[in-house]
Structure formats: structure tokens, C-alpha cells
Amino acid sequence: MALVAMTAAAGNLEKAVDRSNLDPTTPPGTNFYQYACGGWMLNNPLDPQYARFGTFDQLAENSRNQVKEIITTLGTKNPRGSIKQKVGDLYAQGMDSVRLNTEGMAPLKAYIDELKTLTRDQFMAAIADQHNGIAAPFFNSAVMADLKDSNTNMMYLMQGGLGMGDRDYYLEKDANTVKVRNAYVNYIQQLFQLIGYKKGAAKKAAQHVMAIETALAQVAMTREETRDYSKLYNVVSLSQLRADYPNINWSQYFAGLDISELDKVCVFQPKSLAKVNEMMKTLKEEDVREYLIFKYADAASPYLSDAFADANFDMYSRAMSGKQVKMPRWKHALDVPNTMLGEAVGQLYVEKFFPADSKKKMQQLVDNLKRALGEHIATLSWMSPKTKVNALVKLNSFTVKIGYPDKWRDYSALDIDPGKSYWENIMAARRFQSEYEYGQLGKPVDKERWYMTPQTVNAYYEPSTNEICFPAGILQSPYFDPKADDACNYGAIGVVIGHEMTHGFDDQGRNFDANGNMVDWWTPEDAAKFQQLADKLGAQYSAEIVVDDVHANGTFTMGENIADHGGLRVAYSAFKNTEQGKGNEMIDGFTPDQRFFLSYANVWANNITKQEMLRRTKQDPHSLGVNRVNVAIRNLEEFFNAFNIKPGMPMWRDPADRVTIW
């Protein structure tokens, strides 16, 4: 029996594969990504306000414009305390460049003056205050589900304190990294000068800040190490925490987060926290004060005068990513309420832009993909029957969230006061969110909570709740189009669904059971076979050159690569169970299988700067678009058959070198 089809009337079908996206001068067997996306890349040259722009970003821009349509009609004369007032006033403040430039650094002065007077016995209170939604000096903390008891929330302590985000920016010596590092030191100095330090003092302070962050980087876990939950799950009692890190005033710290009842914590990176413990005793008081001042000014800089915002852009966007010009002010202003009051905006968004029937059709697709993944698991040659049973139990326990939450977040306790500065109101919104997060401690895990807003163009799998979520924002063309044929929908949103499902069985997700607990449900033999296959897949990606002599990191991107690989295979199988998939009817000159793979490739069409490719290789667990296409599809026999790719062609991969995991 065929799966429920998404097919529209035949007259509309040819619209789903846009021939202008193709590069007919490149044979599919030479470079399939260039063949499928070359036309799009040529017709969409990179706008200098972006470091990367692709079809994914086009959809995000569409969502942003929809949100703009909502927010710009709210005005600033709404009843005080209403959602419309909070959203409208936040946006209006972000647009008021005259006021922002007049105020300059004034919104920071009182807080910085306090930081300048700190003594050593006050440090942890100040660090906790910044951890309350502002910044993450020295380390970070969060409340999340206990990895081994998914119904209970736990306090986690994690490495942090790195303004550039990744340890390699502080340690590597290649030309691009050194260039970024030098830009960062200049940026730190510039911020100190903007808040009133003289040039010599600012330069000295920048050196102190950089020394602290470099020391933290030297003991930080690598990106690859942070993927191993078994190394991260280090639960200690509160008394043991005090004994292990005696120079950190934990009573002061937890009081600053308004946490009173606490009996245990999980220390993700003990080595990093040990360095912080050492620093709290050995660093000069002045160095700590300067570091905390910088972290605060750095967090505020995008929301202040043009001088601050330009400095922030030059560092994090131009130097690190290769962007050439700032986005229009309205985009930055829009992003503040769109993220900080995300579900309030989301409620308005789905009322206007999410058709009711889209949720039903998406559920049908999810059911079809779920059935296909179950069939894959049942027929795996490398997995034993015992482990298959556990895998199928987990699959059938998935919670599926589509479009928007059943209950909306309450923002009534958040006060947005237009009489206060923009930064003060942003701090209020951040603290409101932080209090909500830390307030989950001692409460059962909220299984109905959404970790993305409805207007977000993305999707996720959450292992602690064993759930897959597809917000309304991604359920639009070219990912999901009710008017398109099955081949195109399964090649796009179908692979996204399969991708998120497969995350439950990637190198991290596989460590969690059907209830979201970190439990080993594998036989040792099956676990070893999985790792062998995963390593083989990782090697395929690590062999790819990103830029110059820099290779992709197949270990760091392992989870996403497995999800892409599984998503493709599962979506293809689900598609082949549809009426269109069972036939071979040509549409606009393409077979159903060709349309499936072209649709998948077009999802990842993009143009990207060299700097952004290097930055993402350091920081992004996803592979670059070209590799999400060219590496992933070369493990599917069906791809080679669809485009008649033979041995000797660059896209060919010998059967013995291909990988099948899920």
C-alpha cells in the first residue's frame, strides 16, 4: 500500500525543480553540487552583508520579513504591560539611532563603576550576576535535564569565558587564525577606549583580558572531546564541589543566581573549572576587574551607539566571517524582540502565516518517514536482533512537535520601560529568561517546552525528551511545498525529518534510550560495529579540503553527518513507497529519483566567504553545504543509478568504500 502522498495537481509539478538553479555546463558525475546548485550560486551573488547566504538563508529572510510585517504594525501606543507594547517598544528603541548615539556609553557607566570597585571577595557575586543572562566570564552554567534521569533537572557547570568562542582561535598559528586573534586584541582595546580608558591603559587592559582567555583556552576541551557525554557527566555533591574548587565562593555564586536548594552538580569540564579555581586565587584583582568589564561591554556593544556596534561588527562579522557591510538597522532591531520575546512573536506569527492544513500534512510526512526508518532498522545487516528491538522501541517513542507549542510562554512578569535605555531593557529581557532557566531547578522537566520559536527556520532533536521538532518557519518552500510533487518534498523536508530522527541514533543520540536517559542499550559488539562505520563515514568528510590546505573535521561534524546520511536514506525509502516513487514518470525532463536528489541538493545551495568557511570549520558541527551534498549522496547506490554515474567519474565512490549506518 502506498504511503499518503503530498502530490498536487500535475499542472503545478514542474515548478518544484527550478532549472535556473542548475549549471548545465557541469556534468552531474563531475561535481553534483555544482551541477545542481551552480545556477543558483551564479544568480545569487553574495551580498556583502552576509558571510554565507543560501536557500536556507532565503527562507530565514522570508520568515524575518513576515515577522517585520507583524512587528512594524504594532506601533508604540499599546497598553502598558501588553505583549504588543513590549514587542513594539523594544523594536522602536532598536531603531532609534539618534537616542543611541546621544547616550553613547552612558547606559553602561553605573554597572562599570561598580565593577571597578570590586574586591576579591566580591568576584563570584559579580560573575554570577553576568551569568544571569549577560555574559559567561570564566565559566558557564545552565539547568538542564539530568543526562541519566530525564525527568529531573540538574545544575551544570561548563567551560566558558572565550570571547572568540573556540579554543583554536587562541592556540593555532596559521595565518588566518593569527589575523583573527590580532583583530580581537584590537577590538578589546577599542572597547576599553570607548568606555573611557586612555589608549595606554586600554592597551594594557586588553593584554590582561587576552592572557586570561588564552589560559582558559589552553585547558578547554577540544570540540571533539565535548561530543563524548561519558567524559562530560561528572556529578559531584555540593560538599565535594567546595572541596575540589575551594577558591570559588560557591555560596556567593549560587546565591547570585537565586539558587538556594542544591545538593549536587554536574561538572562538564573539571580541568577548565580547576583553572578558574586557580585564577580566583592567583590573578591580580585589577586583571579580574578588567576582564569582567570587558565581558560586560562586549555583551552590550551591539545595542549601543554606532561606535560600539561598528567595533562589534568589525570583529565578529568582518574579521571572523568576512562580512563587508552591516545589515540594515531594522534587521538588528527586529531580532531583539524576535528572540527575547520569541514565543510572544511566534503566537502572532502562526496566526497569520501558518496554514492549519500544513500541520496535518507535515504529520503525514513524519509518519511516513518514521515507518521507513523502522524498516531500515529491522533490516540492518550489522545490528543484532537484541539491539534492534531497543532501537525500534526508541523510534516508536518519539514525541513529534510540529508548527507551534500547545501552550504559550507567559511574559507578564517582564517589564519593558521605554523610559529606560535600550540596553537596560535588553538586560531586563535577558534576566527574565535567565531567571526562567535557573528556576527550572527543582522542578520536573517540562516535556511540553519548545527549544525553538515557531518562526525559526530550523528543526531539532532533543535526546533528553526523545523528541523531534519542526517549527512553522521551516515548513515553507523550498523545504515544504504542498503544491510540489512527492519527489521534491521528500528530497527537501523529508530529508530534514529523517535527519532529525536519525539524530536519535547518531554518535551522541544513540547513547540515550526511549525515555531520554543516558543508558547503554547496545550490545558491545553492535556498539563496536557502529563506531567502525561512523569512523569510516567521518574519514570521508575529513578527506575533503575546505580552503587551501585546511581539511574538514569529520569527527567534530560526526553527528550531523550521520544525520544527513540517515536522513537521505530514510527519506528516499519513504519516497519510493509513494505512487510517484513507484513509477518512473518524467516531469520537466527529470525522473522522480533525479528530482529527489536535485531537491536535496538545492536545500544546501549557497555562496560563502573564505573566512566563514574557516570559522564554521572551527565552530559549526554541520559540514559545509557542498559536503552535505557531494559527500553524503555518494554513499547511495540509487544516486549513481539516477544520474548514470560510472567508475572513473569524480563523483563515483566504489561500493567497498561506501557506508550504510541507518
614, part of any domain: yes
**Residue that finishes a domain, picked among 271, 303, 335:** 303
Secondary structure in 3-state letters for 383-426: CCHHHHHHHHHHHHCCEEEEECCCCCCCCCCCCCCCCCCHHHHH
Please say which residue of 303, 333, 362 terminates a domain. 303
The dihedral of CA 575, 576, 582, 585: what is its sign? positive
DSSP symbols for 25-46:
TS-TTT-HHHHHHHHHHHHSPP
Give yes or no: residues 257 and 185 share one domain. Answer: yes
Query: Do both 531 and 590 map to the same domain?
Result: yes
pLDDT category of residue 7 using cuts at 50, 70 and 90: very low
* Residue 567: count of CB within 10 angstroms of its CB: 26
Under the banding of pLDDT at 50, 70 and 90, the label for residue 15 is: low
277/374 same-domain check: no
Q: Tens of pLDDT along 260-298? A: 889 999 999 999 999 999 999 999 999 999 999 999 999
Q: At what angle do helices 123-131 and 285-300 cross, to 10 degrees?
A: 20
User: What's the pLDDT score for residue 5?
Assistant: 37
In three-state secondary structure terms, 467 is strand
- pLDDT tens for residues 445-477? 999 999 999 999 999 999 999 999 999 999 988
Euclidean distance between the first and final Cα of the chain, in Å?
23
The pLDDT of 429-443, averaged and rounded, is 96
Q: Is residue 332 part of a domain?
A: no
Helix (H) or strand (E) holding 153: strand 149-159
Q: 493 lies in a domain? A: yes
Q: How far apart are CA 383 and CA 640, in angstroms?
A: 26
In a shared domain, residues 28 and 162: no
> How far apart (Å, rounded) are the C-alpha atoms in residues 588 and 581?
16
Strands (E), 518-620: 545-547, 550-551, 606-608
Bridge partners of 143? 155
Say if residue 253 is in the same domain as residue 369: no
Per the structure, the complete domain to which residue 546 belongs is given by 16-45+354-398+466-657
Residue 87 covered by a domain: no
If you average pLDDT over residues 567-571, what whole number do you get?
97
CA distance 225 to 213: 19
pLDDT of residue 16: 67
The yes-or-no verdict on residue 14 having pLDDT over 70 is: no
Q: Indicate if 25 and 127 belong to the same structural domain.
A: no
| Domain boundary residue, one of 303, 337, 362 | 303
Residues 6+ apart with CB under 8 A from 203: 189
Q: State the average pLDDT over residues 5-13.
A: 38
Query: Which set of grid coordinates corresponds to residue 370?
Result: 518514521
Strand 235-237 with 264-267, pairing: antiparallel
Q: Is the same domain home to 298 and 365? A: no
Asked if 284 and 360 sit in the same domain, the reply is no
Q: Does residue 427 form part of some domain?
A: no
CATH number at residue 651: 3.40.390.10
User: Residue 232: is its pLDDT beyond 60?
Assistant: yes
**Structural domain contains residue 10:** no
The domain total for the chain is 2
Q: Is residue 442 part of a domain?
A: no
Query: Rounded to whole angstroms, what are the CA distances from 625 to 223, 458, 601?
Result: 20, 15, 9
Kindly state the average pLDDT of the residues 426-437. Answer: 97
Mean pLDDT of all residues in 299-328: 96
Tell me: do 628 and 561 sit in the same domain.
yes
The total number of residues shown for the chain amounts to 662
- Pairing status of strand 139-146 against strand 149-159: antiparallel
Q: How far apart are CA 648 and CA 650, in angstroms?
A: 6
CATH number of 277's domain: 1.10.1380.10
Contacts of 278 (CB under 8 A, 6+ apart): 247
Is 150 part of any domain?
yes
Return the pLDDT at 1: 28
Helix axes 199-219, 270-282, angle to 10 degrees: 140
33 and 144 in a common domain: no
In terms of domains, do 648 and 509 share one?
Answer: yes
Interval 379-395: pLDDT, tens: 999 999 999 999 999 99
Residues 144 and 290 placed together within one structural domain of the fold:
yes
